[in-house]
Amino acid sequence: MDINLSKINKVHFIGIKGVAMSGLSVICKQRGMEVAGSDVAKEFITDKVLNQEGIYVFQEFNPKNLDWSPDLVVVGASWGEDNFEYAQALQKKIPIINESDLRGLLSKEKITIAVTGAHGKTTTTSLLSYIFTLAGLDPSYLIGTGLIPDLGINGHWGGGKYFIVEGDEYIKSKKERTPKFLDLSPDATIITNIEWEHVDVYKKVQDMEKVFKKLVKKTKSFVAACCDWQSVENVIGKNNDKVSTYGNKMCSKWRIGSYTQKLNESYFTVFKDNQVFGEFELRLLGRFNAINAIGCMIVALHYGIGIEVIHEAFKNFSGLERRMDTDHKKDITFIDDYGHHPTEVSETLHAIRDMYVKRNIICIFQPHTASRTLAFLHEFGKCFKDVDEVILLDIFTSAREKEIGITSHDVYETIKKYHPNVHYFGSMEDAAKNILSEIKPRDVVVTMGAGDVYKIKKYFMDNV
C-alpha cells in the first residue's frame, strides 16, 4: 500500500502504549497530524509520554474508537485482524499499516542510522541521539522506552537531516513474519551484538544471522559492529569495506582497554588500530555500556562530529528509564532494570555488584514470556551469582504468546541449584508486601524484567 505521509491529517494507533507505538505517535503529532489511539487500561511506562504530549488514549479496544474518522490506522505488532478496531478499519476502508511500515516511511525521508542487536539497543540509541543533539544537529529519533531525562521523550521529529532509530529484529506482525528492521533504509547501522533471542520466532541463532546479513547488505555506507560475538563475525564476514569493528578483541579496529568503575561514573581507554586513541569518562556504568558507547563514538565520528562533543556527551548522559534506573531513600538504594535475557541479567547484576561491593543486594526478578523462560531455563539458573538474595515473581506473559508449559516454580527450582537464597512469592503484590518489612538501611533492591516489575520499585519508594 502506497502511503504519502504528507497527505495524512489524522492517525489512529491500535496498541498506542507500546514503546515504539507511543514514540511514533509523538512523531506524527510533531509533524502536524491529529493523533489518538487505543490500548488496554493497564498502566504502561509510556503513559507519562502520551499524557505529556496531550495524545488521547481510549482505554479499551472498541469499534466506536474510530468514529473520529482517521485517515490512517497504525497497528502494533501484538495486534491483528482479530482486534475489533482492525476489523472496523477494514469495514470503513481506512488504510491500515503496521508500526514497522510507518518506521520505514519515516526512514525514507532522512539519513537513517539504525541501532540493532539483541541487547543494548535502547541505551545505545539514546546515547547516540544525545550526541547528535549536543552537536546541534537536531536529529529525529525513535527510542524503545518511555522518558529519557536528557532528551525528554522517546520520539522526536527534528529539523535536522538524521533519523536515529532503534532497529527491531522482531517480526512485523502476526501475518508478516519478516523482521521490522528490514523496513528501514539505513545509511549506517550499529550492531551491538547477536545472540539467540525471540525464541518464538527464531529457532536458532543462525536464523537471526540470516536477517542481520540482509540488514548489512541493505545498509548504504557504514556498519559499526561489535565483534565480541561469533554471530556478529559470521554476519559481517571478512574484508567488508563498509564495516568498522569494535569491542574487547585485539583484532577489533576500535578496542576497549582498561576499565574502572566508581559509584557514579566509569573510566576507560580506547585503542584504534592497537594505538591509544583516548581516555574517556562515561556516566553510565558497566563495561558493556562502555563498549556500546564506543559504537556510538565510531558513528558520530563517521558523520563528522568532533571528539570534544563526544567527550562531553559521555560525561553528561545520565541514562534512561528502566535501564539501571537508580533512586535512594532512607539509605536504601532502589534500582530498576529492563533486563530479561540471561546475558542482560547477568551483566547488569555484575555491574551493580561492582558498584556496591560490600552491600546486601536483593534482586526481584520477573521472567518475561514463557517461550523465552523455557528456552533459557538453565541459563537463568546461573544468572544471580552477584546478588545475595533472589525473589522470583510469576512469569509476565505476552499478548502475542500462546500458553507454554512452564511456570516460575520451574525457574525457582533451577535457580535453587546454583543459589543458596532464593524465594518464590508469585504475585507482585505478595512479593512487595513481604519484602518491604525485610528491607534494611544500606540494602540495594533491584527490580528486573521487561514486564511491569517496575511497579514494585514505585511501591517501595512510596512506602519505605
User: What is the tens place of the pLDDT at every residue in 397-440?
Assistant: 865 566 677 889 999 999 999 999 999 987 888 888 888 888 99
Average pLDDT over residues 161-169: 96
pLDDT tens per residue across span 133-146: 999 999 999 999 99
**What whole-number distance in Å separates Cα of residue 49 and Cα of residue 45?**
8
Confidence of residue 80 (pLDDT cuts 50, 70, 90): confident
Q: Is residue 225 within 8 Å of 232, Cβ to Cβ?
A: yes
**What whole-number distance in Å separates Cα of residue 253 and Cα of residue 247?**
8
Q: Is 134 left (phi over 0), alpha (psi -120 to 50) or beta?
A: alpha
Residue 379: φ, ψ to 5°: -65, -40
Strand 243-247 to 222-226 pairing: parallel
pLDDT tens per residue across span 280-309: 999 999 999 999 999 999 999 999 999 999
Sign of CA dihedral 215, 220, 224, 230: positive
Beta-sheet strands, E only, within 353-453:
361-365, 389-393, 422-426, 444-448
Q: Count Cβ atoms below 10 Å from residue 246 Cβ, excluding itself.
A: 26
pLDDT tens per residue across span 9-49: 999 999 999 999 999 999 999 999 999 999 999 889 899 99
pLDDT tens per residue across span 51-69: 999 999 999 999 999 999 9
Report the range of poorest mean pLDDT among 82-96, 298-312, 332-346, 390-404.
390-404
Q: Judge whether residue 224 has pLDDT over 70.
A: yes
Residue 172's Cβ-side half-sphere holds a number of Cα atoms within 13 Å equal to 20
pLDDT of residue 405: 79
**What whole-number distance in Å separates Cα of residue 233 and Cα of residue 213?**
11
Can you list the domains of the chain with their CATH numbers?
5-98 (3.40.50.720), 110-316 (3.40.1190.10), 325-463 (3.90.190.20)
Average pLDDT over residues 257-274: 93
Would you state the torsion angle of the CA atoms of residues 163, 177, 89, 53, taken in this order, to the nearest 10 degrees? -30
Helix or strand run (H / E) with residue 345? helix 342-355
Total residues found in the chain within this entry? 464
Q: Judge whether residue 176 has pLDDT over 90.
A: no
Confidence of residue 448 (pLDDT cuts 50, 70, 90): very high
pLDDT of residue 130: 98
The C-alpha cell that represents 82 in the structure block: 482479530
Q: What is the mean pLDDT of the chain?
A: 93
- Rg of the chain over Cα atoms, rounded to whole angstroms, equals 22
Confidence of residue 8 (pLDDT cuts 50, 70, 90): very high
Q: Is residue 22 within 8 Å of 35, Cβ to Cβ?
A: no
Going by C-alpha positions, the residue among 414, 429, 419, 332 that lies closest to residue 373 is: 414
pLDDT of residue 78: 85
**What whole-number distance in Å separates Cα of residue 17 and Cα of residue 330?**
33
pLDDT of residue 319: 87
pLDDT of residue 362: 96
The pTM assigned to this predicted structure is 0.89
CA 326 to the chain's CA centroid: 17
Going by C-alpha positions, the residue among 297, 229, 306 that lies closest to residue 269 is: 297
Average pLDDT over residues 369-384: 91
pLDDT of residue 444: 96
Report the range of poorest mean pLDDT among 254-258, 379-383, 439-443, 459-463.
459-463
pLDDT of residue 323: 81
Q: Judge whether residue 320 has pLDDT over 90.
A: no
Confidence of residue 75 (pLDDT cuts 50, 70, 90): very high
Cα–Cα distances in angstroms (integers) from residue 202 to residues 177, 192, 196, 210, 237, in the given order = 11, 18, 8, 10, 21
